[in-house]
Amino acid sequence: MMILTHECSAIIQRLNIPKKLEDPGCFTLPCAIGPIEFEKCLCDLGASVSLMPLSVAKRLGFTQYKKCRLSLVLADRSVKFPVGILEDLPVMVGNCEIPTDFVVLEMDEEARDPLILGRPFLATAGAIVNVKEGKIDLHLGKGHVLHFDIKEMMKKPTVQNQAFYIEEMEALADELLEELGLEDSLQHALTIDKGVVENQESAAYGRMLDARKGFVDKEQYEELPQASSATQQEVSHQDDWSELKAPKVELKPLPHGVRYAFLGPNETYPVII
């Protein structure tokens, strides 16, 4: 006997199994409060209040807030106390205004999409979230319905204040990064092929070097013919018996039958014969 898993049993019995889907991402809405527009405001069914950073409230011109005895327990179990509450702010979604109460909270750093729309806002707007289709429908009464496609909104790149990581780069991109990293433009113009120069300062140095006329190498000397071996020996022999190199000797009287003979000029290099 072999016991099959639930997956194998479902396939054999041809049960209706839904297709496994990926994470559709965060559900966001574009909205505006006064002169400030927010491209993406997080719709959070897990938040019992709508949140606004203190910096955004100051940009909107608010300085006074309704006091509240409220403490917020964050995901890391830390507790924060809000500055106050702004009541009945008109949040413009599409061409409709939705009155919303915001809890103003002081944050260390303002996020790019700072507003969080909690359950009270979603209930007021009559929001119906279709997670499978990735859509939000706002039923604002009298047959007025706004449709938002989260998948289309996720295609828009978010490059402001965002960090990206590139896993691989081609050789051309590496050369460009190397060029941009060089501080000495003249060194770059001398060492890199002029056909791939992108830096304007390096390209200017390259044009200046190309405009200079090339140096023509001219011979400044002539080689002398080589002397024969006999001549070299004669010169060498003459140098050996030079008068300047002759030793200073004292000539003493010689006995009868012998005399001095001189091999060099002016009685130098004497020998006895």
DSSP output for 197-237: ---HHHHHHHHHHHHSPPPPP-----PPPPPPHHHHHHHHH
Of the ranges 131-135, 207-211, 223-227, 258-262, which is most confident?
131-135
| Domain contains 118 | yes
The verdict on 183 and 89 lying in the same domain is: no
Contact (CB, 8 A) for 104 and 98: no
| Domain contains 92 | yes
pLDDT digits (tens, 9 = 90+) for 126-179: 988 888 888 888 888 777 888 888 776 655 544 445 554 444 555 556 666 665
Q: Per mean pLDDT, which range of 62-76, 86-100, 243-257 is the poorest? A: 243-257
| Domain contains 220 | no
The share of the chain scoring above pLDDT 70, in percent, equals 62
CATH number at residue 45: 2.40.70.10
The verdict on 205 and 252 lying in the same domain is: no
pLDDT digits (tens, 9 = 90+) for 49-80: 999 999 999 999 998 999 988 888 887 888 88
| Domain contains 17 | no
The verdict on 34 and 131 lying in the same domain is: yes
The verdict on 176 and 150 lying in the same domain is: no
Query: What is the pLDDT, as a whole number, of residue 78?
Result: 85
| Domain contains 230 | no
**Residue 178's domain spans which residues?**
171-210
Q: What is the DSSP letter of 140?
A: -
Structural domains of the chain, count: 3
The verdict on 80 and 35 lying in the same domain is: yes
Task: Give this prediction's pTM.
Answer: 0.49
| Domain contains 20 | no
The verdict on 268 and 200 lying in the same domain is: no
The verdict on 126 and 188 lying in the same domain is: no
Could you tell me the pLDDT band of residue 23, with boundaries at 50, 70 and 90?
A: confident
Q: Rounded to whole angstroms, how far apart are CA atoms 57 and 63?
A: 8
Instruction: Say if strands 96-105 and 84-93 run parallel, antiparallel, or are unpaired.
Output: antiparallel
Could you tell me the pLDDT band of residue 261, with boundaries at 50, 70 and 90?
A: confident
Could you tell me the pLDDT band of residue 15, with boundaries at 50, 70 and 90?
A: low
Mean pLDDT, rounded, of the chain: 75
The verdict on 34 and 101 lying in the same domain is: yes
The verdict on 65 and 113 lying in the same domain is: yes
Mean pLDDT of 113-118: 88
| Domain contains 117 | yes
Q: Rounded to whole angstroms, how far apart are CA atoms 140 and 129?
A: 14
The verdict on 145 and 200 lying in the same domain is: no
Query: What is the pLDDT, as a whole number, of residue 249?
Result: 77
| Domain contains 137 | yes
The verdict on 40 and 73 lying in the same domain is: yes
The verdict on 69 and 176 lying in the same domain is: no
Contact (CB, 8 A) for 53 and 33: no
